[in-house]
Structure formats: C-alpha cells, structure tokens
Amino acid sequence: MKTISCMNIEENFLCSSGGEIKLYKKGELIYREGDHALYYYQIKEGKVKLNNYDEEGKEFIHNIFGPKQSFGDSMLFVDKFYPMNATCISPVEIIRVPKELFLKLIKTHPHLSLEMNACLSQRLYFKAIMLHNMASLNPASRLRGLLDYLKSYHDDECENCFQVELTRQQMANLIGLRIETVIRTLKKMEKEGNISIRDRKIIY
C-alpha cells in the first residue's frame, strides 16, 4: 500500500458516490478558517494552498496541493472548525463529496478506510518529525524537517524530484528563521548535494 499523505480516489468512483465537480477561480476561497467541514475535496486540475494570517496580516502557507491530491480530510472525522483557509492559486476543478456520503463510502469500502488511516498516520508521523527538527538550533535541521514534511504529501516513489512551491520568505516564516539564514543554509545544502536549485526553484 502506498502511503502518500493525500487520498487519491478514482474520479468516476467519487462521482458515482454522490460527488460533484465544482469550478473555482484563482484567488477564490474553497473554505475559510472557522468553517465546519462539509465535504471531501479532491483536486482534478489546478493548485490549492492552505494558509492563514496572524494579527499583523502576515500570511503563513502550510502546504500547496495539486491534481489528484485531497486536502482537509482529517476534519471530516472531528466536530471542529477548519484551522486554516483553502485558497485557489490558479483556476481549480475539484471533485467534492458531501461529508455524510463520503463517510458512508469509506464504511462500505474498507480498503478506502485503510488507505485513509495510512494517509492520516503518515501526516502525523511527518508532522512530529518536523516539530522535532524545528526545536533544533541548527538551521539545516529545521529546513530538512520542513522539506520532509512537504514532500510527504507527494508520491514517495519520487526521488530527488520534489519541487518546493514555497518562497524563501514563506519557508523562513514557517520555521522561525531570518530569510538571510534560509538563503545561506539552502546554498550550503546545495553544495552538500542535499538539494538542487533550478531557476531559483528548490528540488528535494
């Protein structure tokens, strides 16, 4: 069983189980911080970011998702509010399934429930690793923890081909470092062969 940290259920199966295809414009909110979870979301085309803002209006991006990836899954199992926004960073086509129908779907198809458990478990595992590394005073350890966490949401068969969608400033904000420290550390990691940088894009 693959342990990609995002569910990827066959599209026809989702649609035949009560799913609908919905189109969003660039910049449109799919849900906002404080909303209740009402749907299972899986991206067909486009990209979505999960973000929120602090009291000063500074944006924090938690992750970016693309085609055949799901997001917000864990909130379907708890009676809590979304802790962040889901915002389209391009025109997006999404398959969404109402919560009640999705829960019925995974109950009647045990293999989906097992895959969901594997995905959620892997998310928790990599989140724990990232938090552990963020406690380190070593900037490289913090960056590796963040990169491992981001990469965990993508196909684990991919070696040295994950492209980081965050800017240097966003990475600095996420791990509590100055942008100058992030830039200097990334250059050092590149020299050591831990990452590559192509057209200013970080490949991990």
Q: What is the DSSP string of 12-26?
A: HHHHHTT-EEEEE-T
Bridge partner list, 39: 98
Confidence of residue 167 (pLDDT cuts 50, 70, 90): confident
- State percent of the chain over pLDDT 90: 51
Q: What is the mean pLDDT of residues 119-130?
A: 81
Say yes or no to pLDDT of 155 above 70: no
Cα–Cα distances (Å) from 9 to 31, 73, 180, in that order, read: 21, 12, 41
8 A C-beta contact, residue 183 and residue 200? no
pLDDT at 128: 84
Say yes or no to pLDDT of 124 above 50: yes
Q: How far apart are CA 49 and CA 85, in angstroms?
A: 8
pLDDT at 115: 87
Q: How far apart are CA 55 and CA 125, in angstroms?
A: 30
pLDDT at 5: 59
Bridge partner list, 59: 53
